[in-house]
A and B are shown apart, each in its own frame.
Chain A
């Protein structure tokens, strides 16, 4: 079908919205409230266009195309209307850009610039709002909110949590929690998906930059850092590289430059997680334990289960996440080996995830008053620190991780993509249960962006049913099926964020599906190209068990690598 855009014929597809057609032609239309993949809400009106035969301007994001449609995308009227919207938004906005996390990366700022807003037009009184600093992971600053509603929709329609919504009305409307309580006592699972779509600085992670910087400058502690499997294929985007470019070695080099005494990879402890988790699965299968077993490495999902399905807590693997496992062996095995008092170790992690900031202080983590991990930096915070420290990221020479955790398998790396934990676990579970390696490592059915992915895998004589839930918003369906009696599934991987950690709430701002797919491909490429592809064959893992842990699920493992969960009753759901 053809539509006519500023006198040019342009191809459009039956049934699509005008905005999509225009975008495909490379015509840039500003938007604020539109989220790819969800129904348009048509509320911000930034995307308006002029249409022949219609007196009013029409939001292109919500207008279905038809043959012969004639529009103007940047007429004087349109541009004036858009500028007026921006000016109106700014009239109730703090002039805080210089002190704002999103300075330089803010859609509102960008729109003001694009529309040549050069003075404050309206200067009436502004609403006053309380900053919500209650959550260990997410900070909400309603003063910077432009009420686009994207966070609300992502939280409800994608994540199925719905802990925030519009409240009040008219000029007093705001986004809030039930009873305006702190986000920390709401059902928020700290996934940070709302941050990724927020056009402004109204939603950000609780920053640990100052704390980590201070420790780095003081140099009093032995400072160690771990970086998560997915970060190496995303952080490059913060430095102008294309999505999915793997910069693992460069990251490691950057961390050394920043002053960390040791640099480890969480992919190593992902291998460790697999050893414990696969053993736990084998144990549950052989000894009639609770099935299906659920993965426990994604803290947002763990909280979701504790709130919404507490009756299924026993299905959760007791394994700590790779972050916590590495933290625990750093402050035990590593500390003993290096003869350092665990209290003198400051342990940082670089994570794709905001919920990891919540996880480090969970009950059942750490030992006594020694925490497993002391601070968590998101990919974004990490990039910011690199810039703060004047490190020219792209000119660094790649470097490797430190002993005694220097080697990782690609199975550990797979943790970065939805479905990866499952593939990694099956490789090792197969070996544990049969004594033989799997013949084909790749399980195509559980890769990709589908919400629920399932497969049947033969482990010896036993047909094992596995399911991968890609994004916690898809969990309800499967959990309800299981509660209703579905029993052909033994093992379920659930990642809180759609796409898995590569699309985590701590990753570079934005939720472009193409970028997420490119990041995923990068992870699978690493797995394909390297030779050490199973956790149980990782020599550093073997040494860790031989020297210190004994065997999976053994006494030391239980003390260091496993945890427990709580029913969260008092949460407003």
Chain B
């Protein structure tokens, strides 16, 4: 893990006030893509806060991830349109197929999963995005094909 980057975040908040916790976590996530254990330890040292407390605060907000994003970061839209078109099923299928839950990363490091409020592509509902690339009208059949292709792509790297 890049601890220099975390140190830079910490240096931005020299006065170690506890109200800086959330902005610091946001900065870390911005840089690393997630809130790492190292960052929690280092921020904890700086703000004199126990790790369990930081994690508790961070999990209170939906915005933080605690796993390194996979090679393929899948975002699934849970906006109204997608919901109506059955995005719940898509979500369940992905979770089952990859054996991970929202917020987690698969053990092989290939996939991570995130739910977002709306991807802004309601016409394509239900929609998922993989590393920013959109897939429209996703149903189970389509989904499995997408995952299969991604696995192949990831495996060859």
Chain A residues packing against B (C-beta within 8 Å):
156, 161-169, 176-180, 186-187, 572-573
Task: Check if B60 sits within 8 Å of A168, measured CB to CB.
Answer: yes
Query: For A573, what are the chain B residues with a Cβ–Cβ distance below 8 Å?
Result: 41, 44, 50-51
Contact with A along B17-45 (1 / 0, CB 8 A): 00000000000000000000100110010
Cβ contacts under 8 Å, B37 to chain A: 178-179, 572
Do A166 and B56 have beta carbons less than 8 Å apart? yes
Write the nearest CB–CB distance from B48 to chain A, whole angstroms: 10
Closest residue on chain A to residue B54 by CB atoms: A178
**B contact set with A: CB distance below 8 Å:** 37, 40-41, 44, 50-56, 59-60, 66
B59 touches A178 (CB 8 A): no
Q: A165 touching B55 by the CB < 8 A rule? A: yes
* CB pair B53 A162 closer than 8 Å: yes
Taking CB atoms, residues of chain B closer than 8 Å to A187 are 50-51
Contacts of B41 in A (CB 8 A): 572-573
A165 contacts B56, CB within 8 Å? Answer: yes
Min CB–CB distance B56 → chain A (angstroms): 4
| Residues B50 and A163 in contact, CB atoms below 8 Å apart | yes
Identify whether the interface residues of B are mostly helix, strand, loop, or mixed: helix
- What residues on B are CB-neighbors of A177 within 8 Å? 52, 55
Closest beta carbon of chain B to A177's beta carbon, Å: 6
Additional 11 contacts, C-beta under 8 A, given A165-B52, A178-B37, A186-B51: A156-B53, A162-B50, A163-B51, A167-B59, A168-B59, A168-B60, A178-B51, A179-B51, A187-B50, A572-B40, A573-B41
A sample of 12 cross-chain residue pairs with beta-carbon separation below 8 angstroms, ordered by A number, consists of A165-B55, A165-B56, A167-B56, A167-B59, A167-B60, A169-B59, A178-B40, A178-B52, A179-B51, A572-B37, A573-B41, A573-B51
B52 touching A186 by the CB < 8 A rule?
Answer: yes
- Find the residue from A168, A178, A186 having the highest chain B CB count within 10 A: A178
Closest A residue by C-beta to B37? A179
Q: Which residues of B contact A167 (CB under 8 A)?
A: 55-56, 59-60
Least CB separation from A170: chain B residue? B60
Q: Would you give the shortest CB distance from A323 to chain B, in whole angstroms?
A: 29
What's the nearest-Cβ distance from chain A to residue B66, in Å? 6
A179 touching B53 in the complex, CB below 8 Å, given contacts A572-B40, A572-B41, A573-B41: no
B40 partner residues in chain A, CB cutoff 8 A = 178-179, 572
CA distance A572 to B50 in the complex (A): 8
| Nearest B-chain residue to A188, judged by Cβ | B52
Q: Counting chain B CB atoms within 10 Å of each CB, which of A156, A161, A165, A176 scores highest?
A: A165
Residues of chain A lying within 8 A (CB to CB) of residue B56: 165-167, 176
Q: In the complex, what distance in Å separates the CA atom of A186 from the CA atom of B56?
A: 14
The chain B residue sitting closest to A173, CB to CB, is: B60
In the complex, which residues of chain B have a beta carbon less than 8 angstroms from the beta carbon of A168? 59-60
- Chain A residues with CB under 8 Å of B55's CB are 165, 167, 176-180
